[in-house]
Structure formats: structure tokens, C-alpha cells
Chain A
């Protein structure tokens, strides 16, 4: 097992990883920018190293400084969290060169799954259903036109190197295709330095259902059930839950098996997530695979009782998975609300500020993952998520009731947050009924303007 782990991240995920390390008896090293001198993850760690000025590019993305910090402190393993360098293949490989175990998959895995067009092809080979589309990238508009005819309109134009909604456009007919093909490619080139395009059939009102998987370096892979992440705004997840109201036991068995076969087929080791789109008729299709621990991982932890970060650490240390598929069951229901320092009444504009007063909800079935404390000044350099509020209940109704209660107890004064938005959603008829999809939020009217109450 490792003698010291450096956590190459900040905020709530850095705390999360450190908590797992502490439980395993492994000392931790925090790295931080000058803006995070007083951050909680620095205080939690056994040692800390300042790696640069506030901007992410000069600190949390500064490979030299991070590796130097690992060298100075004698860390023999590194956990990248999510975001930042978590899916940077070169970084994973550089760690290996310096005898630092990267807690995650190999660089090769990241590259395979990082290219969306390649990932599709590989999953298809493993027998996983994929969204009808092109076999890899399309070379030019002529090929795109032919393919679109074959697939059938409407089609989704997507960037191979894409993510976060960039480089994506819809084409409803051939004229549309010509225009949007150029636009999508240009956007992708600008955002990712790669304008490569592929096409997929546009599914109508699909749900985003993702399966958590764990693989070890001995070829064992298991899935830990699904998370329904359909409540999204501009492709950013806001609310997640497990199990999905739309997934039956039969469907879970089939989708879970596909996720496991897909991961096993590429020899995946570590924690990962296989994302599917589920259409209204129960047809499911592979969308993409995330080769990191995800923001919403606690949802799965609550319904399975498994500590995913500890499992990641054990897997990285070469241990065999002790979990077997027959022992994994989803118990009860869990919901997560992402609390951001944003104003829901102003189109979710980010609002950094200082938290004057903080009261974190508690009681049965409530879990809060946050790096925020009373008096904490939220730096403007990083993302706006300040807390994850989760509830667990024996039924979906109980999880919902607990979430309503917990949201009403949550006090974050001095900063505008999205708590009012979540309070509204917990009483939203569509959400409560469990009948919603990835288009639900986009199709509705402007959200709450009652921010003064908080």
C-alpha cells in the first residue's frame, strides 16, 4: 500500500480523497495555489506545498510544480480528483516515469475513451449498443451528407475531442447540415485544437443514465448500478439520483452487463463511468465513458455502501477487487443536489463572495460534501460548485422528503446560491413523478427569483 498520497486537486474532492486516505492510514500532501492558502484541503492534509499563483494553468494544472511537490514530500502516489489533470494522458504517463503511481486508469485508456469517435468504435466491438452514427470521424461535408442520409435526420454533429457541449450542433435537414458542420468543426478546433467531427442519430428526449464501474488490474470488472443525471442545464448536471425511476431490474441487468463488457473489453482498471442514453422505448445506447472519479460518485456510495475512493486507491495499489457482482445491490434511494455559487434568477451567473454564516444540514440520511466554512472567501478563479447535498431514504419519496427538509435547513449567507432552484425542483411535478429527460430543464420557464430569502 502507498506510504504517502499527494492530492492534485482542490475543493470538496480534495477533502473527499483525503478522508479516504486518512481512513486507510495513509498520510496526505495537499498542493494549493496562493488563492487557496487558507483552504480546508490544506488544513486537512498532513503536509502542504504552494505550487503557484491563483490561475489554474499556473497551479493546479502546473505539472512540473505538482511533480516537484511529490518529489520533495516523498509521495509515492497521486490522486488527481476530477477536472484539472484527472483525464490528462500525458500527465498520467509522466507520473509513471517518475515512479509515482497515478490513482486512475492508464494514459492509454484515457486516450482511447477521450476520443469520442474511437470510444464508440471500441464499445461496438465489445458488443455494446451505440447510438446509430458514423463509424469514426467523417472526413468532409460530402461524407457527412451521405452518412446523415443513411442514419436518418435529425442528426447530432459532434466533435471527437469534445465535451461540455462544445462542438455540438443539431442538423434537421441537408441544408442545416452544411451550415452546422462548419460551425461545429470550427468551434471544436477553437476549444480543443481538433476539429474532427462525427455524426450520431439525435435521440428524442433521452434520459442520461450512467453506470459506475470498478475494474482491477487482474481483469475483474463490476458495476455498481446506475445514476440518472437527466436534470441538466447546458449539459451541466444539477441533480442526480440512484436508482433511476426509468430503469427496471431487467433493464439494469442488461445495461449493467453492457457497461461491464465494454470496460472489460478495453481492459479498464480503476473507477470509471459508462454513460448511456435511454430512449422512451427502453432502447439504450452508449454515449461516452469517463475515466475518472465523478462529482456525483457519492450517490452510488449511498445506495451501495461502497467507498469508491478507497476502492480506487486499493486498485491502484494492485489489490484484487473483493466486490463481486452478486454481492452488489442498490439499497433505498439517493438524490444529490449540486449547490453552486450562482444566481438562478440571473441565468445562473457565477457569484463568488464570502460565506458569512454557514449551517450545514444533518440528521438521518443526509450527507454534505463541501470545502466551504464560515468566513470562507470563494475564489473567482475556479468552478462555482460550493457543496454537494445528498439524501438517502428507503424509498424515493423518503429521499425527496429528506432533501426538502435538508434544503430548508441549509444556510449559506453572504453568497447567492442555487438552493432556491433546488427547493423548486423538489416540488416540481415532473421531477416528483420521475418522468423527465435531458430536455426537461431547457424546455421550461425562468426559475426562482426569491434569492433574498436565503
Chain B
């Protein structure tokens, strides 16, 4: 195997989704392994979701893995935002009853302790109070959606 052939093989691995390539002929054998930054990328995504866009030198598969780690908090637009999360398991409602106006709308300013929604659990309506003061940038939860402990309800730009 000469240098040119070797370079071609390396390029082949680099440009594809292939992770590892073994080539054997009579006199030589070559093993080319792609660097694995997977763990690092996913790790970075989980640790600091809004701020960083981790250097994506890894192949496409890796970025998809990272995206799956923290679904709704991935975009760069979320940098600096704080989520209001559900403190309980149940069904989220935006208003106190089907005929009432929703507690909050996008763009509203909310204060700490302000009621921002309802989570219904076991036929009991529980008012959800915000832990943060700021402006509602994005509403994540849909009316009538099931939520678990920690589910993000809205993204807030803190004061």
C-alpha cells in the first residue's frame, strides 16, 4: 500500500459515517479508527444546554445523539433563559377553567410566586407558582398536556 492509497482510505473514512475500517492485503494491514467525541458532545449538551453550541466536528450521528439528550432546551435562542417547570405529575392547564382566559401569555411579565398555570392531579387542581420573576419568552407546554415532575412549562427571561 502506498501513501496515496492510504490518504484515499483516510479520506473515505472521514467523509462517511464509517467509524472503523480494516484493510488487509498480502503484505500490509491498516486499521483506521475515527476519533470519538460523542461522549464529550452529549456531555456538554446536557451540562450547559442553552449557552454553548459545542464544536461539532463529529459526524452527523453524534449531533443527533446530543439533540436527544435535552430536547426542548437545545436552540441557541434559549441562551440565558430559565424554565418554569412542573413540580408535580398531572395534566397541565393554561387557565383555571375552559371558559377562563389563560393565566399568562407570551410576552407577559411574571413575578415570583405568581400563579402561572394549573396541574391537575387526582381530580385536584393545583395552582403552579413561578419560582422566578421575568418575561415569558416561549410557552412550551400545551393546554391539556400530561406533565411529569420537572417538565418545562415555559421559558422565562429573568429580570
A residues near B, CB below 8 A?
A: 34, 49-53, 59, 64-65, 67-69, 71-72, 98
Residue B89 is within 8 A (CB to CB) of chain A in the complex: yes
Name which of B88, B90, B146, B149 has the most chain A CB atoms within 10 A of its CB.
Answer: B149
* Interface size, B (range): 10 to 19
Binary interface encoding of chain B residues 130-159 relative to chain A, with 1 for a CB under 8 A from any of its CBs, else 0 = 000000000000000010111100000000
| Contact A67–B122 (Cβ < 8 Å) | yes
Cβ-neighbour of B89 out of A34, A53, A69 (below 8 A): A69
Task: Give Cα A72–Cα B145 distance, bound, in whole angstroms.
Answer: 10
Shortest CB-to-CB span from A439 to chain B, Å, is: 45
| Contact B122–A51 (Cβ < 8 Å) | no
Residues from chain A with a CB closer than 8 A to the CB of B146 are 72
Task: Give Cα A65–Cα B119 distance, bound, in whole angstroms.
Answer: 12
Q: Given A49-B89, A51-B89: A68 and B150 within 8 A (CB)?
A: no
Shortest CB-to-CB span from B87 to chain A, Å, is: 9
5 nearest A-B residue pairs (beta carbon): A68-B89, A68-B121, A50-B148, A72-B146, A50-B149
| Contact A34–B149 (Cβ < 8 Å) | yes
Task: Give Cα A51–Cα B146 distance, bound, in whole angstroms.
Answer: 12
Among residues of A, the one whose C-beta sits closest to the C-beta of B119 is A68
Q: Given A71-B122, A98-B122: A65 and B149 within 8 A (CB)?
A: yes
Task: Give Cα A277–Cα B63 distance, bound, in whole angstroms.
Answer: 60
Shortest CB-to-CB span from A71 to chain B, Å, is: 7
Given contacts A68-B88, A68-B121, 4 further A-B contacts (CB under 8 A): A49-B89, A53-B149, A69-B148, A72-B146
Shortest CB-to-CB span from A52 to chain B, Å, is: 5
Residues from chain A with a CB closer than 8 A to the CB of B122 are 64, 67-68, 71, 98
Name which of B88, B89, B91 has the most chain A CB atoms within 10 A of its CB.
Answer: B89
What are 6 residue pairs bridging A and B, where the CB atoms are less than 8 Å apart in the complex? A34-B149, A49-B148, A51-B148, A65-B88, A65-B89, A72-B146
Among residues of B, the one whose C-beta sits closest to the C-beta of A52 is B149
Shortest CB-to-CB span from A356 to chain B, Å, is: 13
Shortest CB-to-CB span from A310 to chain B, Å, is: 28
Residues from chain A with a CB closer than 8 A to the CB of B148 are 49-51, 69
Q: Given A64-B121, A64-B122, A98-B122: A72 and B150 within 8 A (CB)?
A: no
| Contact A51–B149 (Cβ < 8 Å) | yes
Residues from chain B with a CB closer than 8 A to the CB of A67 are 122
Residues from chain A with a CB closer than 8 A to the CB of B151 are 50
Binary interface encoding of chain B residues 87-115 relative to chain A, with 1 for a CB under 8 A from any of its CBs, else 0 = 01111000000000000000000000000
Task: Give Cα A64–Cα B121 distance, bound, in whole angstroms.
Answer: 8
Name which of B88, B146, B148, B151 has the most chain A CB atoms within 10 A of its CB.
Answer: B148
Task: Give Cα A150–Cα B149 distance, bound, in whole angstroms.
Answer: 56
Task: Give Cα A401–Cα B88 distance, bound, in whole angstroms.
Answer: 50
Among residues of B, the one whose C-beta sits closest to the C-beta of A48 is B148
| Contact A34–B150 (Cβ < 8 Å) | yes
Task: Give Cα A282–Cα B83 distance, bound, in whole angstroms.
Answer: 65
Among residues of B, the one whose C-beta sits closest to the C-beta of A53 is B149
Task: Give Cα A53–Cα B148 distance, bound, in whole angstroms.
Answer: 11
Shortest CB-to-CB span from A424 to chain B, Å, is: 37
Shortest CB-to-CB span from A29 to chain B, Å, is: 11
Residues from chain A with a CB closer than 8 A to the CB of B89 are 49-51, 64-65, 68-69, 72
Task: Give Cα A349–Cα B122 distance, bound, in whole angstroms.
Answer: 41
For chain B residues 50-97, which have a beta carbon within 8 Å of chain A? 88-91
Task: Give Cα A49–Cα B148 distance, bound, in whole angstroms.
Answer: 6
Residues from chain B with a CB closer than 8 A to the CB of A52 are 149
Among residues of A, the one whose C-beta sits closest to the C-beta of B86 is A50
Task: Give Cα A50–Cα B91 distance, bound, in whole angstroms.
Answer: 13
Task: Give Cα A34–Cα B146 distance, bound, in whole angstroms.
Answer: 17
Residues from chain B with a CB closer than 8 A to the CB of A68 are 88-90, 121-122
Among residues of A, the one whose C-beta sits closest to the C-beta of B39 is A375
Residues from chain B with a CB closer than 8 A to the CB of A49 are 89, 148
Residues from chain A with a CB closer than 8 A to the CB of B90 are 68, 72
Residues from chain A with a CB closer than 8 A to the CB of B121 are 64-65, 68, 71
Shortest CB-to-CB span from B131 to chain A, Å, is: 14
Residues from chain B with a CB closer than 8 A to the CB of A50 are 89, 148-151
Among residues of A, the one whose C-beta sits closest to the C-beta of B89 is A68
| Contact A64–B149 (Cβ < 8 Å) | no
Task: Give Cα A50–Cα B148 distance, bound, in whole angstroms.
Answer: 5
Shortest CB-to-CB span from B85 to chain A, Å, is: 10
Residues from chain B with a CB closer than 8 A to the CB of A59 are 149
Residues from chain B with a CB closer than 8 A to the CB of A34 are 149-150
Shortest CB-to-CB span from A72 to chain B, Å, is: 5
Residues from chain B with a CB closer than 8 A to the CB of A72 are 89-91, 146
Shortest CB-to-CB span from A383 to chain B, Å, is: 22
Task: Give Cα A418–Cα B35 distance, bound, in whole angstroms.
Answer: 37
Task: Give Cα A88–Cα B89 distance, bound, in whole angstroms.
Answer: 21
Residues from chain A with a CB closer than 8 A to the CB of B150 are 34, 50
Among residues of A, the one whose C-beta sits closest to the C-beta of B90 is A68
